[in-house]
Structure 1
Amino acid sequence: MRAYAVTSSDVTPLPRNWPRLIHEGNWSALIASPLNVVTSIALLTLLSTGLLIWARRKLRKRRPRSERQTDAAVVGAG
């Protein structure tokens, strides 16, 4: 994608805006498209594994407080 400066006498191409091209994914169709797919899959994998780890920790069955206190007393007695 190219931008042009239009004046009354002529049309001149502006320098390429590489940060914008990279952000929009227009810099290389052969590289950018597969790279977007790989990045999307990696981010979805990180999201799903993070949610799984959080859910396993948050939803596990907790032992009653009395059992935890007796275990701590036994460990501290030795």
Structure 2
Amino acid sequence: MSPAPIVVIGGSAGALDPLQEIASNLPRDSQSPVLVGVHIAPDYPSHPSDLLSGSGPLPTRHAQHAERLRPGRIYVALLDQHLLVDTEQ
């Protein structure tokens, strides 16, 4: 069986409300990791991972360098950072 696809979502500051709506509707038993990148100034008073955490059934966290993606989790890029995925591992 092949692995589940990776879900990738990107947006800007105006995407925060829609991102919360999307997170609230993700299935609890999702087999896909969800990657989120939001273009917001680094001095923005809140972080997208804080806003998405608790918005839905999936745990949300900032992506960490060299971290293995796990199904059913939301990984958010740090502000002012890119999110790169190595699909060869």
TM range (shorter): under 0.3
- The structure that has the greater radius of gyration is 1
- Bigger proportion of residues as strand: 2
**TM-score, normalization: structure 2?**
0.17
Question: 1 or 2 for the larger relative contact order (CA 8 Å, sep ≥6)?
Answer: 2
